[in-house]
Structure 1
Amino acid sequence: MKGVISMSGKKMYSAELKLEIVQRYLKGNIGLKQLVEQYHISSKSCIQKWLALYREHGKVGLCTTHENMWRSMIMCFRG
């Protein structure tokens, strides 16, 4: 699936994919369970975390990672 990278058994999701999923949820016409199934996300808790980050930080919150926050933010702003 576009926007998903598997590394060492752990899925990594692109900021674009996270934003698409968050925006679809916030429109109110689809639930977490349906989004998990449709986008093959690991769990509902992933989307819940993205929602919290989006509400607190906006789009930039979806671009950051704990391992390399600044690099991710720069890449997010470029794209």
Structure 2
Amino acid sequence: MKAVIESYCCVPDLPDNRVEAFHYCLYGDCGMLHRGTVTIRTANVLATEIRSGTAFSAMMRAISEANPRNYDSLVGATFFD
């Protein structure tokens, strides 16, 4: 499997809070399997809860561990099983 971060966005939510999210695609042997969006908060939870060794878990860890100033640099990052 391959996981690719396609884009990053920051959406104003409440006056004192904002929602930051990444759009991603998962690919298998037969092409694209899933297109989704994950918020930073969800990526933080998934990074600690799902088993490592998968492209998806590596992507969640990369998002979770990234410096917020560098979120844009994750766009295009590719992770493999």
TM superposition score normalised by structure 1? 0.34
Structure with larger RCO (C-alpha < 8 A, sep 6+)? 2
TM superposition score normalised by structure 2? 0.33
Q: Which has the higher strand share?
A: 2
Q: Which has the higher helix share?
A: 1
